[in-house]
Amino acid sequence: MATTALICGISGQDGGYLAQLLLQQGYTVYGTSRDAQVSSFQNLGRLGIREQVQVLSMALNDFRSVLQVIDKVQPEQIYNLAGQTSVGLSFEQPVETMESITVGTLNLLEAIRFSKANIKLYNAGSSECFGNTGDRAADETTPFRPRSPYAVAKAAAFWEVANYREAYNLFACSGILFNHESPLRPQRFVTQKIVKAACRIAHGVNEKLYLGNLSVRRDWGWAPEYVQAMYRMLQQSQPDDYVIATGKTHSLEDFVAEVFSSLNLNWQDHVVTDLSLLRPTDIAESRANPSKAKQQLDWQARYQMPDIARGMIEAAEA
């Protein structure tokens, strides 16, 4: 019998690539969104797998809705990728951010505990929980210092998962993923905003690209690789939490320069700093130590920032 997986938040970037991977592994894949009848599931369509995934409506902040879907699907694995995903938007919608992430994760944990089913849970954590790492690369023992409503919510969800794992012996784990990009990123994410604007400029459109703080430093990875780490976490004999990253940090200016130079452009001729785009608080430097994932999951990032920039440009130009 094929393993049945339920992906909460399947319409996003990671949900699409994860569904593709699980289908390749012979899984039966279900996916949820708030309203599956009106959702386009555009990413599943772009990957050519829309007809292979069964979709359902589920409101993660409604415990009854979560219970009903789990009872109907009877999954052996649940991947929680749902909830608000934008750090910037979380400053404008802090209540919705907290509720969708913390209450949604808690409802999944409670539903698994309540059903007494043998279900493995993957929870999408975030490197944002660490805040500024400075020169020290964050690993699984690094304290959290969240600097946004999104990061606060993700930190709470992380500890919910850890608590249920210890208190109720659930197979529940969190992947603390650092930034990861792909052509499926929506344009509200800065990497895709940069790529799309640079491509338009390269094709002769006269415009300026407005960005905030170019000095912030991030560890950027390739999303299709990162879902492999999610999958491997649920193949382990014991649940645990893992930092998933490349281990290499670059500034946003480095990313901008890579994108524009790949299109034979000088970024300084086209980029304007816009102070209105600065966040109330931001992370200056995000640095990661993913050695535990390499040792225990046999997972290591192969794509680095320049590869990611070129991959996103190729997709945008296709």
Q: Residue 295 falls within a domain, yes or no?
A: no
Distance separating alpha carbons of residues 217 and 287, to the nearest angstrom: 8
Q: Residue 297 falls within a domain, yes or no?
A: no
Sheet with 120-126, strands from edge to edge, namely 54-57, 28-33, 4-8, 77-80, 120-126, 171-177, 242-244
For the beta carbon of residue 37, count every other beta carbon within 10 angstroms.
7
Residues catalogued as catalytic: 126, 128, 150
Angle of CA points 142, 146, 148, to nearest 5°: 160
Work out the percent of the chain whose per-residue pLDDT is above 90.
Answer: 90
Distance separating alpha carbons of residues 93 and 233, to the nearest angstrom: 31
- In this predicted model, what pLDDT tens digit does every residue of 231-274 receive, in sequence order? 999 999 999 999 999 999 999 999 999 999 999 999 999 999 99
The reported pLDDT for the residue numbered 1 is 82
Contacts of 252-256 with C-beta under 8 Å, sequence gap 24+, read 252/190, 252/211, 252/213, 252/214, 252/215, 252/216, 252/217, 252/218, 253/214, 253/215, 254/305, 255/191, 255/194, 255/220, 255/305, 255/309, 256/194, 256/209, 256/211, 256/214
170 and 254, same domain (yes or no)? no
11 in Cβ contact with 42 (< 8 Å): yes
Distance separating alpha carbons of residues 94 and 100, to the nearest angstrom: 10
Residue among 223, 216, 215, 185 at smallest CA distance from 301 = 223
Rounded to an integer, the average pLDDT of 160-165 is 98
Q: In 147-203, which ranges are E strands?
A: 171-177, 180-181
Q: Residue 291 falls within a domain, yes or no?
A: no
Helix (H/G/I), strand (E/B), else coil: 123? strand
Going by C-beta distance under 8 Å and a sequence separation of 6 or more, which residues neighbour residue 128?
87, 146, 147, 148, 150, 151, 154, 283
The reported pLDDT for the residue numbered 205 is 95
- In this predicted model, what pLDDT tens digit does every residue of 90-145 receive, in sequence order? 898 999 999 999 999 999 999 999 999 999 999 999 999 999 998 899 999 999 99
Report the DSSP beta bridge partners of residue 95. Answer: none
pTM to 2 decimals? 0.95
8 and 57, same domain (yes or no)? yes
Determine phi and psi for 151, rounding to 5 degrees. Answer: -65, -40
37 and 144, same domain (yes or no)? yes
Q: Residue 137 falls within a domain, yes or no?
A: yes
From the centroid of its chain, how far is CA 152?
A: 16
282 and 151, same domain (yes or no)? no
pLDDT of residue 275 exceeding 90: no
111 and 198, same domain (yes or no)? no
Boundaries of domain holding 256:
185-218+249-286+304-317
Give how many domains the chain has, as a whole number.
Answer: 2
114 and 212, same domain (yes or no)? no
Mean pLDDT of the chain: 95
